[in-house]
């Protein structure tokens, strides 16, 4: 009976959230609708990171590598003429402009291929060695943007053109981003709820015991890494088509820290937690937290901005609520 009640409550919350998301463009200002649409894509990034970190326990600190690869793949498929600046890849400049769905899927495929290669090389590492290697990767991949500046656009990046936007209007982009989030999260949820997800959890709980039980831990960590990188690439490609521009910030450390913060606050290894955490943290970072800081700390001359507050919050949550803030709240409600 308790399980049924919990399922009914969860279903009710999902239905209310769905109705609010569908109707939001009719009563929320357009500027905020644009931002919420980006939040949907950010949720894909957080949930895809959670598949690897939350379910297998492997600390991947370089998820933005796959976001960046997906983003630049999609951008170059929309403006293949940029390849003409490179002698090595000049032949690709003759490619036709890819349809938007193909561009997004190819962003995921390319990120998945790179994830597979990186995973084969690094996933035999244990403990903090894997975390250290992945932390360096975004810095390595970011250099390609500056080495082949004529192709990737360097610091300024480049635009793919208004006609290649995810939707013709802000509302159109919003709804497409929402559908893309629903599909991506539903697939990842189905995976972690399957027998595959049980093997991921077994590795997270006790890798040595999982190996003793006959689970090929390297194989299943690689599968999780592949899934995580694929959907990270999907999210990166979707960002390009949503904003119609690409720049090196998709590889950058602040984005990685924002993903980590959203996942940790929501609760790793839950899927639902990172959805909530991703929604709240992205809107806090890009909307109301900045306004609050400007309003209450203006004139104090303190070296504090919205990013500092978010990073302090990350440290507090990691120390006092390692299971995530929402998971902690849920447990206390159950006790009461």
Residue 47's nearest CA partner among 177, 231, 179, 286 is 231
Average pLDDT, the chain: 85
**31 φ/ψ sector (left φ>0, alpha ψ -120 to 50, else beta):** alpha
- Per mean pLDDT, which range of 44-48, 71-75, 86-90 is the poorest? 86-90
Residue 310 token pair: 């978010």
Residue 52's nearest CA partner among 232, 273, 233 is 232
Residue 293 token pair: 């800081």
Angle at 183 between CA 179 and CA 184, to 5 degrees: 115
Angle between helix axes 30-56 and 253-266 (nearest 10 degrees) is 70
CA distances from 20 to 17, 23, 283 (A): 5, 5, 16
Task: State the residue for tokens 């996942």.
Answer: 263
Residue 158 bridge partners (DSSP): 246
Check: CB of residue 62 under 8 Å from CB of residue 136. yes
User: Looking at beta carbons, which pairs linking 297-301 to residues 24 or more positions away fall under 8 Å?
Assistant: none
> How far is residue 161's CA from residue 164's CA, in Å, rounded to a whole number?
6
Task: State the residue for tokens 């991947």.
Answer: 60
- Section 108-126 average pLDDT: 90
The confidence score (pLDDT) of residue 184 equals 96
User: Who wins on pLDDT, 233 or 12?
Assistant: 233
Residue 10 token pair: 């969860």
DSSP, residue by residue, 167-212: SSSHHHHHHHHHHHHHHHHHHHHHHHTSHHHHHHHHHHH-HHHHHH
How do residues 241-292 score in pLDDT, each as one tens digit? 999 999 998 998 889 989 998 998 888 888 888 998 899 889 888 877 766 7
CA distances from 216 to 63, 210, 220, 272 (A): 23, 8, 6, 28
CA max distance for the chain = 67
The confidence score (pLDDT) of residue 93 equals 75
- Per mean pLDDT, which range of 21-25, 40-44, 149-153, 326-330 is the poorest? 326-330
**How far out from the chain centre does Cα 197 lie?**
19
> How far is residue 197's CA from residue 64's CA, in Å, rounded to a whole number?
23
- Section 303-322 average pLDDT: 74
* CA end-to-end distance (rounded Å), the chain: 18
The confidence score (pLDDT) of residue 59 equals 86
- Section 195-208 average pLDDT: 89
User: Who wins on pLDDT, 301 or 206?
Assistant: 206
């Amino acid at each position: 009976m308790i399980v049924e009640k919990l399922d009914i409550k969860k279903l009710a919350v999902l239905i209310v959230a769905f109705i609010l998301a569908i109707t939001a463009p009719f009563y929320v200002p357009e500027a905020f609708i644009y931002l919420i649409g980006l939040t949907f894509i950010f949720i894909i990034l957080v949930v895809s990171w959670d598949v690897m970190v939350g379910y297998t326990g492997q600390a991947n600190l370089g998820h933005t590598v796959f976001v960046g690869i997906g983003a630049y793949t999609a951008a170059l498929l929309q403006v293949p003429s940029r390849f003409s600046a490179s002698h090595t890849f000049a032949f690709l400049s003759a490619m036709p402009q890819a349809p938007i769905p193909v561009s997004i899927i190819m962003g995921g495929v390319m990120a998945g291929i790179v994830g597979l290669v990186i995973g084969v090389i690094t996933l035999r590492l244990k403990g903090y060695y894997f975390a250290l290697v992945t932390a360096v990767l975004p810095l390595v991949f970011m250099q390609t943007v500056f080495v082949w500046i004529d192709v990737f656009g360097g610091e300024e990046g480049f635009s793919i053109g208004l006609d290649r936007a995810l939707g013709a209007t802000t509302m159109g982009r919003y709804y497409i981003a929402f559908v893309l989030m629903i599909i991506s999260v539903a697939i990842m949820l189905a995976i972690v709820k399957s027998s595959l997800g049980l093997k991921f959890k077994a590795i997270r709980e006790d890798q040595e015991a999982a190996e003793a039980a006959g689970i090929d831990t390297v194989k299943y960590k690689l599968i999780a890494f592949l899934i995580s990188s694929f959907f990270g690439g999907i999210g990166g490609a979707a960002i390009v088509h949503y904003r119609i521009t690409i720049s090196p910030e998709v590889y950058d450390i602040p984005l990685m820290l924002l993903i980590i913060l959203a996942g940790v606050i929501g609760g790793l290894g839950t899927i639902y937690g990172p959805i909530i955490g991703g929604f709240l943290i992205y809107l806090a970072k890009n909307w109301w937290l900045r306004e609050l800081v400007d309003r209450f700390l203006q004139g104090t001359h303190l070296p504090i901005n919205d990013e500092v507050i978010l990073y302090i919050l990350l440290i507090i949550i990691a120390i006092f609520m390692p299971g995530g803030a929402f998971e902690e709240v849920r447990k206390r409600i159950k006790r009461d």
